[in-house]
């Protein structure tokens, strides 16, 4: 992986949406790509993409509510609220419709964004993600993940473990380890609890057949958190889908194999930008309930 420094200046900004301050990083000019990060992360997880893709695209990575420099998550916040905030950011920055990319939990937010705000979405880029845990994983696995996190929160050491098994296929580069540790040190336990409780109850599998924009699936071949069986479920369900698997990558494929990840995203966005937009069908109505 090359360094994290983009060829063009990165702009840090804040917009106010739904009464919350939402921070973001922005670099480059061109068709917009908006990146949504996973749980226990923030906009910093997209540094390689800000560096690589900003030569051709406007690249924006947000700090979702409760992460990075953004406001705390309010009580009772739902998956729909996260999607509303992302839509507000896209509108405030004049980016829509954008290529919207999400990794892991960020992909679930991107799906909910499409459900409720399809006008914001030109294409979907779903990386190592889920249609919610309930929508993609066996019930026993969901229970085990929640119990493990609740035990961590109840312990004296509440720090998120950046070496969680399955995040990487091998030992990541030193700059990636440092970045993960920095983000883990800034995790807010209450925000993390909100995200995981929402994720455990979310099931967006009914939306997948109704996605009427092109979708790119990018998956680490050795992803143990969201295995390739989940990617195949997405591939079968979404009408216009391309699946790219990355050898030697685990769950955080955008950091572990950034060059391969960026090649896939660049080629997909180029092709989608050069083609006329597809006829849009309205997404299936409904939104995830509050936990």
Say if residues 286 and 75 touch (Cβ distance below 8 Å): no
pLDDT-based confidence at 290, cuts 50/70/90?
very low
pLDDT value at position 224? 94
What secondary structure letter does DSSP report for 8? S
pLDDT value at position 291? 39
Residue 27 forms beta bridges with which residues?
A: 59
Percent of the chain with pLDDT over 70: 87
Half-sphere CA count of 167, side-chain side, radius 13 A: 18
Give the mean model confidence (pLDDT) for residues 225-231. 97
| Domains of the chain and CATH, by start | 11-272 (3.40.50.1820)
pLDDT value at position 289? 40
122 pLDDT higher than 90: yes
pLDDT tens-digit series, residues 8-52 = 678 999 999 989 999 999 999 999 999 999 999 999 999 999 999
pLDDT tens-digit series, residues 263-286 = 999 999 999 987 655 454 456 545
Q: Which of 209, 198, 197, 208 is nearest to 288 (CA)?
A: 198
CA distance 208 to 233: 9
CA dihedral 21, 27, 30, 34 (to 10 degrees): -40
CA distance 262 to 256: 11
In whole numbers, what is the pLDDT of the chain averaged over residues? 91
pLDDT value at position 288? 46
Non-local CB neighbours of 267 within 8 Å, separated by 6+ positions: none
123 pLDDT higher than 60: yes
Say if residues 249 and 257 touch (Cβ distance below 8 Å): yes
pLDDT value at position 10? 87
Cis peptide before 97 (omega within 30 of 0): yes
pLDDT tens-digit series, residues 128-187 = 999 999 999 999 999 999 998 888 777 666 566 655 667 999 989 999 999 999 999 999
């Amino acid at each position: 992986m090359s360094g994290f420094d983009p060829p063009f200046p990165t702009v840090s900004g804040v917009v106010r949406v739904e009464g919350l301050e939402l921070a973001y990083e922005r670099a480059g000019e061109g068709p917009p790509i908006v990146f949504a990060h996973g749980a226990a992360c923030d906009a910093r997880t997209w540094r390689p993409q800000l560096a690589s893709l900003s030569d051709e695209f406007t690249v924006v990575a947000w700090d979702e509510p409760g992460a990075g420099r953004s406001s705390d998550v309010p009580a009772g916040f739902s998956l729909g609220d996260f999607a509303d905030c992302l839509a507000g950011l896209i509108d405030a920055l004049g980016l829509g419709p954008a290529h919207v990319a999400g990794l892991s939990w960020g992909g679930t937010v991107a799906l909910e964004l499409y459900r409720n705000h399809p006008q914001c979405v030109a294409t979907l880029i779903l990386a190592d993600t889920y249609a919610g845990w309930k929508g993609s994983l066996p019930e026993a696995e969901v229970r085990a993940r929640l119990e493990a996190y609740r035990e961590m929160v109840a312990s004296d050491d509440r720090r998120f473990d950046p070496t969680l098994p399955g995040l990487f296929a091998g030992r990541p580069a030193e700059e990636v380890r440092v970045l993960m540790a920095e983000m883990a040190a800034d995790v807010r336990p209450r925000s993390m609890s909100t995200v995981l409780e929402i994720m455990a109850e979310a099931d967006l599998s009914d939306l997948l057949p109704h996605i009427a924009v092109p979708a790119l699936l990018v998956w680490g071949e050795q992803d143990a958190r969201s295995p390739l069986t989940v990617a195949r479920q997405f591939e079968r369900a979404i009408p216009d889908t391309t699946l790219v698997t990355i050898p030697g990558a685990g769950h955080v494929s955008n950091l572990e194999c950034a060059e391969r990840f960026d090649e896939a995203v660049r080629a997909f966005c180029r092709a989608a930008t050069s083609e006329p937009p597809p006829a849009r069908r309205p997404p299936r109505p409904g939104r995830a309930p509050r936990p």
